[in-house]
Amino acid sequence: MDSGNYRRHDNAGVITIEIKRMSFLLIDERQGLQLRIISRLFEDISLTSGSGRLQGLLLDRNPNH
């Protein structure tokens, strides 16, 4: 895996983020949930609130977290 990739494994599943030159790809493979792939251009997202926007991509799937 190169430096543009991040993968987290735990008991809940795997979350992978691939950072490209102008975009990112998020692959959410959590257990018990359907596979979800999100791709966004950096110019289309706002990062002014810190990590809240990127974190929201995961949390919108399960509003209880």
**How are strands ordered across the β-sheet holding 23-30?**
5-10, 13-19, 23-30, 36-41
Both structure tokens of 37: 């792939």
Average pLDDT value for residue range 7-14 = 89
Identify residue 18 by its one-letter amino acid code: E
pLDDT at 29 over 90: yes
Both structure tokens of 59: 């949390």
Matching residue, tokens 């809240």 = 52
Check: CB of residue 1 under 8 Å from CB of residue 18: no
Check: CB of residue 53 under 8 Å from CB of residue 42: no
pLDDT at 51 over 50: yes
pLDDT at 63 over 90: no
Confidence bin at 52 (pLDDT 50/70/90):
low
pLDDT recorded at residue 58: 59
